[in-house]
Structure 1
Amino acid sequence: MTTAARLTVSLAALCAAGALGAARAADTAPVGVTISDKGCEPANVAVVPGKSVFKIKNASKRAVEWEILKGVDVVEERENIIPGFTQTITATLDAGDYQMTCGLLSNPKGVLKVAASQPAAADAKPAAVSPMDLVGPLAEYKVYVTREIDALVTETRAFTAAVKAGKLADAQALYAPTRQHYERIEPIAELFNDLDGSMDSREDDFEKKAEDPGFTGFHRIEKGLFGDKSTAGLAPVADKLMADTEDLHRRVSGLAITPKSMVGGAADLIEEVASKKISGEEDRYSRTDLFDFQANVDGAQKIVALLDPLVQKRDPALVARVKGNFAKVDAVLAKYRNGQGFESYDKLAPEDRNRLKGPVTALAEDLSTLRGTLGID
């Protein structure tokens, strides 16, 4: 692994917004974008290169994520925008043509154009950590991601083989342990919008729900195995999942992980827990939510551990809060361990769900400040 090739530090945070009409952002005036059940309003947005501020309002009936795409690559995203809420996002964009996801995966994508112009003066921001200080953490994180993606390929091969062979009990047993590898590195896997959509989407992401032909991947197989209690008709879905997993392996192998992706990934993982795992939305048929819950926590803790020396120098109180809340989450999860796995999510007592909400919410808030603490924009 060549350090220079894999650890190119890109500190440009690419982000923007979209829906019907067109808008041009002034240096300080925010660009408003509303996500409805049908798409973005406006669907076409134009801004100048440099820093822009976007206000993304969710006017749909479900929590949504908003992404900026360059081809199939995700260059910026904001997950889990709750219905009725508005999220403000500051982004630094290079000139070029981008797309935006607008709610349901079956909705048309929006268009974002960043027209060439003289760049505005940069706003004052915290001094970034030295790129050389990030070389070690980035290299270690790439090793971690590589190990998880290798395991994902191996275990997905066994899982899909069981599905195709009609071995219902075997496939059910392999489902949750296999998915854990994806969940630990989800911020990196989500950089490839096309694969994330086909591998990890839920039926709620589509207008026709479970009947939509675009609903594939782990959760489509989950519905068959645990909802329908059958492997009938799942062979093509299993084949596609295996092909997508191998494609993800190839793409990640050649990926230079940026500081933004790594540092921001810690907050993304815990926000995923707060919005989907605690509610039980993620694995509605198998009730294996605690496997994913633990995997998201594992992935976030790995990132935090690698960044600990750098954050400790800048905000030791933040480090102490984060470690304390991780310990509280780990303690609750430990109560529901069962051999190598976890009890069904249905067995999680209401008081334990409530006990998790506080530290998980605090973690999401604290980890969202990591990029700012380290000066990574």
Structure 2
Amino acid sequence: MSDAPNRSIYWAVAAAACLAAAGGGAFWYASVKNAEATRGQKADRVVTITATACEPMEMTVPGGRRTFEIVNASDRPIEWEILDGVMVLAERENIAPGFRATLVAQLQPGEYQMACGLLSNPRGVLKVTPSDEAASAASEVTLRKFLGPLSEYRVYLVMQGNAAASTAQALRDAVAAGDLAAAQAAWEAARLPYRRIEPLANRLSDLANAINPQAAYLAERESDPGFTGYHRIEYGLFAQNTTEGLLPHADRLLSDLEALKARMREAKLDPQLLLSLPAQMTAQLAQSQVPAGENSYAGNDLDDFAASVEGIGKLAGLLRTVVAPVDAGLDADLGAALDKVQGDLAALKQGDGYPPYADVTREQRAALAADLTALAGVLDRLPAVIGVN
């Protein structure tokens, strides 16, 4: 009997080990870069995430620009969020076990919730007290110079929200027909409009947790009842290679995206929000998604990242119309940083498309993460320049 099957298994295991090592190395690199970017910033509070809770579960800080150090003391990758109702004000995700990460957030007085690791864990309480710094920040933003960008971004949200719903309808129809190849192609297409509006969609935690949860953040992983939305359908189509049992998930995704579309139309857009969205999304890509990957089963991460950069680029372009007359140097820096990231993605293309993410080397992931980190740093400079007048 030939030993070819045994050799195939050996090489498959070896390849998987190499990919795991590459992913770990890229994650380490991004963590180091994040540490370098935040070095010298003294944390206002340290939050330790265990398997079941935050420590402490309640804390108080003065309003203003606050720095939090998040320590993962659990055995799972975790995320930490500050929430105002269902709205995510700031987040850090994919913090590996034993690692720590820094989050900087501009906070106004009020009482907020803290998401502590797994989505099923109880939420903590963050109390923000009045301060001169918070009062000054609240008075710095004026509306007049942002009216055009805010109006244009609302139109963009409506258009991409419509596209997200219509592509989800096509996905639902392919699943209902039992056409695996068509459903896989429809799933890949359905991801793109959502990724373009994800900077704001991520802020709507109730819908984001239904539309885009990762199995890693759920107690029972792929078998968890909370595993819904895009990645649940991805798991069925690409890991299990079937459309069977996916129609209820496709129907739910379509319903949730219709709700998201309606919420986007009604969302309160203001200058502070417009200024914060692209920097936070760019940092999330750099620190979490690019090093570890996002689409674990389909492997089309680069298509997703390119769509995310489109959405970030739209926001950056709107903000550049405000910053250019005030600080031409910052405008030039922003354009150059965005061009660098777009160039990185273009260089990864093979023909008309992107390769599977498993084929992207540790060095390529690290380079993209580093340039995204640099872009986030430039975007972080905008509030001090165009958030005051």
Q: Is the CA contact (8 Å cut-off) linking 1:35 and 1:56 kept in structure 2?
A: no
Relative to the length of structure 1, the TM-score reads 0.81
Mapped partners of 1:207, 1:224: distance in 2: 19
**Match for residue 22 of structure 2?**
none
- Offset of 1:52 from its aligned partner? 7.3
Deviation at 1:81, TM superposition (A): 6.8
Does 2:155 correspond to 1:143?
yes
Q: Does 1:101 align with 2:106?
A: no
> Helix, strand or coil: the match of 1:104?
coil
Alignment partners' CA distance in 2, 1:104 and 1:126: 33
Alpha-carbon spacing, 1:148–1:93, altered in 2? closer, same or farther (3 Å): same
CA distance in 2, matches of 1:29, 1:321: 28
The 10-residue stretch of structure 1 (60-69 or 145-154) with the greater mean CA deviation from structure 2: 60-69
Query: Does residue 1:68 correspond to 2:87, yes or no?
Result: no
Of residues 92, 95, 109, the one that matches 1:82 is 95
The equivalent position to 2:358 in structure 1, one of 339, 346, 350, is 346
Cα distance in 1 between the residues matched to 2:55 and 2:366: 36
How big is the shift at 1:129? Answer: 5.2
Q: Distance in 2 between matches of 1:78 and 1:253?
A: 23
In the alignment, residue 85 of structure 1 is paired with which amino acid?
Answer: R
The percent identity for this pair of structures is 36
Matches within 5 A, 1:28-177: 30-46=44-60, 50-51=63-64, 53=66, 55-60=68-73, 61=75, 64-74=78-88, 76-80=89-93, 82-83=95-96, 84-87=99-102, 89-95=104-110, 97-113=111-127, 119-122=130-133, 128=140, 130-177=142-189
Q: 1:158-190 CA distances to partner (integer Å, 9 max, x unpaired)? A: 112212322110010111221111111112112
Alignment partner of 1:305 is 2:317: yes
Q: Is the 8 A contact 1:98 1:111 kept in 2?
A: yes
1:211 CA displacement: 1.4
User: Deviations 1:94-149 (Å, cap 9, x if unpaired)?
Assistant: 44x4322111112111134567xxx4334666983531001111111111111100
Q: Does structure 2 retain, via aligned residues, the 8 Å contact 1:67–1:78?
A: yes
Find the aligned partners of 2:142 and 2:250 in 1 and give their Cα distance.
Answer: 44
TM-score (norm. length: structure 2): 0.79
Contact 2:286-2:370 at 8 Å conserved across structures:
no
Aligned partner (choices 277, 282, 291) of residue 279 of structure 1? 291
Cα displacement string for residues 323-365 of structure 1 (whole angstroms, at most 9, x for unaligned residues): 2232232223224446775332234355543442332221122
Quote the Cα distance in structure 1 between the aligned partners of 2:108 and 2:199: 20
CA contact (8 A) 2:172 2:251 kept: yes
**What CA distance in whole angstroms lies between the structure 1 residues aligned with 2:361 and 2:174?**
33
Unaligned runs of 5+ in 1: 1-27
Choose between structure 1 and 2: higher helix proportion. Answer: 2
The secondary structure found in structure 2 opposite 1:278 is helix
Q: Is the 8 A contact 2:49 2:72 kept in 1?
A: yes
Alpha carbons of structure 1 residues 47 and 126: separation in structure 2 relative to 1, 3 Å: closer
Q: Secondary structure at the match of 2:324?
A: helix
The residue correspondences of 1:213-224 to structure 2 (distance < 5 A) are 213-224=225-236
Q: Which residue does 1:252 correspond to in 2?
A: 264
CA distance in 1, matches of 2:76, 2:65: 26
Using the TM superposition, name which of 34-43 and 220-229 deviates more: 34-43
CA contact (8 A) 1:81 1:87 kept: no
- Matched residue of 1:159: which SS? helix
Q: What secondary structure does 1:256 align onto?
A: coil
- Give yes or no for contact 1:35–1:58 (8 Å, CA) kept in 2: yes
Q: Which amino acid aligns with 1:318?
A: L
* Deviation at residue 157 of structure 1 after TM alignment: 0.8
The alignment's C-alpha RMSD in Å is 2.8
User: After the TM superposition, which of the residue ranges 282-291 and 309-318 deviates more from structure 2?
Assistant: 309-318
Q: Which blocks of at least 5 consecutive residues in structure 2 are unaligned? A: 1-41
Q: Does the C-alpha gap of structure 1 residues 37 and 324 become closer, same or farther in structure 2, counting only changes over 3 Å?
A: same
Q: Report the alpha carbon displacement of residue 33 of structure 1 after superposing the two structures with TM.
A: 2.6
> Secondary structure at the residue paired with 1:342?
coil
Match of 1:189 in 2: 201
